[in-house]
């Protein structure tokens, strides 16, 4: 069984702060890693993917991957109320994707 674990939260941050979301995974053979955002009642939408150790930045978002520690994180800089959502971590192993249960983020104006 391939496990993907996230802190369910809720995580609350003030507007303009940095939000830090974390994810660990159990299988060292996992190949690529994804962060999705899901608004209530909507489908998941891709924010970022990463497959090499280190950091990857895209606008206000930075994904960090540490394969030795089996850890992937997402930083959201200058958090906005529109960032309030559930963030899903996903891990691809072979042709299957495994998802965490998500972290609920609330950005307080």
Partner 1 sequence: DAGITQSPRHKVTETGTPVTLRCHQTENHRYMYWYRQDPGHGLRLIHYSYGVKDTDKGEVSDGYSVSRSKTEDFLLTLESATSSQTSVYFCAISESIVLAETQYFGPGTRLLVL
Chain residues 43-82 in contact with partner 1, contact rule CB under 8 A: 43-46, 49, 51
Among 7, 32, 70, 106, binds partner 1 (CB under 8 A): 32
DSSP string, 39-93: -TTS--EEEEEE-SSEEEEETTEEEEEETTTTEEEEEESS--GGG-EEEEEEEEE
Tell me if 37 contacts partner 1 by CB under 8 A. Answer: no
Q: Position of tokens 């200058």? A: 78
Tell me if 100 contacts partner 1 by CB under 8 A. Answer: yes
> Least distance to partner 1 from the beta carbon of 75, Å?
19
Using the rule CB under 8 A, give the single segment among 12-20, 22-30, 69-77, 90-98 that binds partner 1.
90-98
């Amino acid at each position: 069984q391939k496990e993907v674990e996230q802190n369910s939260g809720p995580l609350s941050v003030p507007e303009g702060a940095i939000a830090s979301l974390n994810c660990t995974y159990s299988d060292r053979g996992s190949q690529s890693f994804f962060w999705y955002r899901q608004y209530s009642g909507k489908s998941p939408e891709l924010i970022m993917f990463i497959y090499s150790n280190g950091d990857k930045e895209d606008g206000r978002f930075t994904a960090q991957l540490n394969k030795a520690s089996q850890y992937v994180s997402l930083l959201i800089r200058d958090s906005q109320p529109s960032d309030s959502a559930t963030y899903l971590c996903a891990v691809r192993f072979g042709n299957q994707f495994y998802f965490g249960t998500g972290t609920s983020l609330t950005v307080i104006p």
